[in-house]
């Protein structure tokens, strides 16, 4: 998940691409796992940490 968080903040990759790069076959599964780890969705995480 740390790789996913870094990709969300340091790239313009879509959530689908971030999920794929981190080994998830679906955005849904990635989103659930990310929210479990960070208590916010990937989109919210990206919005809360502007570049």
Segment 13-31, tens digit of pLDDT: 999 999 999 999 999 999 9
Task: Report residue 42 as tokens.
Answer: 């990937």
pLDDT band at 51 (very low <50, low <70, confident <90, very high): confident
| CATH code of the domain in which 40 resides | 1.10.10.60
* Residues in the chain, total: 51
Longest CA–CA separation in the chain, Å: 27
For the chain, the domain total comes to 1
Rounded Cα distance between 32 and 10, Å, is 21
Domain that holds residue 22: 2-48
């Amino acid at each position: 998940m740390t790789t996913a968080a870094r990709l969300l903040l340091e790239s313009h990759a879509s959530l689908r691409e971030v999920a794929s790069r981190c080994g998830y076959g679906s955005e849904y599964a990635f989103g659930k796992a990310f929210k479990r780890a960070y208590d916010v969705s990937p989109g919210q995480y990206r919005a809360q940490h502007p570049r």
